Amino acid sequence: MHQNLKPSPLLESKKAQLHFHQPAQTSRNTLTHRNIWILHWRTLESECAPLPGLSSDWHSEKDWENALALALQEFNASMNGLSPHLSLEGWEPWLDQWRSNYPSIAFGLENILQQIYNSAKIVYPDSINPSTQPQFTPLQTAAESSSLRINGLVWMNDVETMRREALHKIALGFDCLKFKIGALDWQAELDMIAGIRSLYPASVLEIRVDANGALNPDRAAQQLTDLHQLEVHSIEQPLTPRLDHLLPDLAQANSLPIALDESILLRQPHEASRQWLANSGAKYLVLKPSLLGGFKIAEAWIEIAENLGMGWWITSALESNIGLGTIASWTYHQVQRRNNTLAQGLGTGALYTDNFPATTFIRGGRLHTLSHWIPL
């Protein structure tokens, strides 16, 4: 370390448990609480939010926390020995290792590094010169906020509760709804969606469904036909990723567009993945930056999707308001830059009884973000 530099502060983590207002049910499981890990560096914060059962890097909490401890140790050792001209790009080889092996940890590391290098308010050793980097403004006023069209999420429940929730969200101004489906009686789910569609034609209400891989492959083709007749926009992850080899035939046999979510979490955005996607028959990608390994990885998937003529939207993954705010501001930047008019899949942060202070809010079926994302 250079003699004239002060020791840099340590990056530390703290586990937090958030509790749902009511159980969040999908075809995969039911959640009553959610564990996250907040990374702290001086006044800056980022979030690591693995989802057991969905995150590719989650084998056990002990294994994951040991990996996080190693990441923090490596980060702090590098910071304390920082060379005078190390740029954010200089961290990329190290970040790439974490993106490959522990993507949910990489999301938090990438975010905290971007904040460190972007924040003009940080008094830091001469080895980082914030004035030469684009600035990250943590908070704007509500009047300056940017907004995103998002889908209103209807969680799985009994069909009458789902119907009431859908009507409530429409009354709030949402023009796109996403229903979690696949675990209840199929005809009951179909009748519920048909009832909503009878009130609101496709010209005024977009309906998406998300099966979380729950459809039986023997019945999936007919189920997609049923949904297409109701002018459903698309179905997310109809089959479990272990049945990805069946996707081309399913897509060819149906007119209902398929969007892939969980299947993407198991792959890296390489040429082999591009070839697989080209042959899959899928029309959309659903991207979760906090589980994919951060924004660099998510943007690589966007590039692949657009190269193949596929659509895409960004989805949150039950992060706290800390992670959600960052994802929302980055998503707004991507949507504006790429002229994407599709409704995005971001949450509202209102699911929890004990969330952190919000940097987003909902108005008229749109998510307004108070954070301003400026790329490097």
> 174-221: per-residue pLDDT in tens?
999 999 998 889 999 999 999 999 999 999 999 999 999 999 999 999
8 Å CB contact between 283 and 234: yes
> 8-67: per-residue pLDDT in tens?
579 999 999 999 998 887 767 788 999 999 999 988 999 999 999 899 999 999 999 999
Active site residue 178: no
Assess if residue 79 is contained within a domain: yes
CA–chain centroid gap for 141, Å, is: 24
328 pLDDT tier (thresholds 50, 70, 90): very high
Are residue 177 and residue 269 in the same domain, yes or no? yes
Are residue 320 and residue 274 in the same domain, yes or no? yes
Count of C-beta atoms within a 10 Å radius of residue 40:
15
Vertex 177 angle, CA 172 and 180, to 5° = 125
> 234-289: per-residue pLDDT in tens?
999 999 999 999 999 999 988 999 999 999 998 999 999 999 999 999 999 999 99
For residues 347-369, average pLDDT = 90
The whole-number pLDDT of residue 213 equals 95
121 pLDDT tier (thresholds 50, 70, 90): very low
d(CA 188, CA 258): 22
Q: Which amino acid is at 237?
A: Q
Assess if residue 3 is contained within a domain: no
Of 14, 180, 283, 296, which is the active-site residue?
180
Are residue 101 and residue 149 in the same domain, yes or no? no
The CATH number linked to 164 is 3.20.20.120
d(CA 376, CA 114): 8
Single out the residue in 99, 132, 165 at which a domain terminates: 132
Are residue 53 and residue 202 in the same domain, yes or no? no
The CATH number linked to 123 is 3.30.390.10
Answer whether residue 343 shows pLDDT above 50: yes
Tokens of 174: 């949402």
Answer whether residue 83 shows pLDDT above 70: no
Assess if residue 327 is contained within a domain: yes
Single out the residue in 97, 132, 167 at which a domain terminates: 132
Q: Can you list the alpha helix ranges (DSSP code H) found in the chain?
A: 61-80, 92-101, 103-118, 159-171, 186-199, 220-229, 247-252, 262-265, 271-280, 289-292, 295-307, 321-338
Are residue 147 and residue 112 in the same domain, yes or no? no
Range of the domain at 42: 12-132
Single out the residue in 108, 132, 156 at which a domain terminates: 132
Backbone angles phi, psi at 37, to 5 degrees: -130, 125
For residues 112-121, average pLDDT = 78
Answer whether residue 133 shows pLDDT above 60: no
Assess if residue 4 is contained within a domain: no
136 pLDDT tier (thresholds 50, 70, 90): very low
The whole-number pLDDT of residue 280 equals 97
Answer whether residue 369 shows pLDDT above 50: yes
The number of residues making up the chain comes to 376
Answer whether residue 126 shows pLDDT above 50: no
- Indicate the average pLDDT of the chain: 88
Active site residue 288: yes
The whole-number pLDDT of residue 79 equals 84
Closest to 277 in 3D by CA, of 291, 264, 295, 262: 264
142 pLDDT tier (thresholds 50, 70, 90): very low
Are residue 91 and residue 183 in the same domain, yes or no? no
Are residue 80 and residue 150 in the same domain, yes or no? no
Percent of the chain with pLDDT over 90: 75
Of 14, 121, 288, 296, which is the active-site residue?
288
Assess if residue 85 is contained within a domain: yes
The whole-number pLDDT of residue 183 equals 82
Are residue 219 and residue 120 in the same domain, yes or no? no
Are residue 160 and residue 265 in the same domain, yes or no? yes
Assess if residue 374 is contained within a domain: no
Are residue 181 and residue 79 in the same domain, yes or no? no
Are residue 188 and residue 111 in the same domain, yes or no? no
375 pLDDT tier (thresholds 50, 70, 90): low
d(CA 298, CA 111): 13
Are residue 293 and residue 351 in the same domain, yes or no? yes
Closest to 238 in 3D by CA, of 251, 228, 252, 229: 251
Number of structural domains, the chain? 2
Assess if residue 288 is contained within a domain: yes
For residues 307-325, average pLDDT = 96
Assess if residue 265 is contained within a domain: yes
